[in-house]
Amino acid sequence: MNSMLLATKILVATSIFFVWVVRYKNIVKEFEEYGIPAWLRDLTGILKLTFALMLLCGQHDRDLTVFGSVGIVVLMACAQVVHIRAETAVFRRVPSFVLLTLSGAIAYVSLWVTK
């Protein structure tokens, strides 16, 4: 179970890093499309990268893992709300939904399955 949990944490953290660092130009464009200010975009990026780092650094600290994964869940739930309000196509909502689901699973497993 621990190897599966670690693999999921790495997948989530890598995905966030890829989107917010490698594909940052796409993020700028997307946030502009939705009319979200630059300061909120940058704050969102800082929070997502911080929470992703918590997942990776929390290997021996359950609280850090839970805090990071719940933080990602909250941000991805907000992303879903933005997508729904903007009436974007369903396929554009899938990545944030997948990260929300995986992060929720990480929190659940970290809290109730592994002790």
Tens digit of pLDDT per residue, the chain (115 long)? Answer: 588 999 999 999 999 999 999 999 999 999 999 999 999 999 999 999 999 999 999 777 889 999 999 999 999 999 999 999 999 999 999 999 999 999 999 999 998 876 6
pLDDT for residue 87: 93
Quick count: other Cβ atoms within 10 Å of Cβ 89? Answer: 8
User: 3-state DSSP call for residue 35?
Assistant: coil
Domain extent listing, the chain: 2-113
Distance CA 60, CA 42 (A): 29
pTM over 0.75: yes
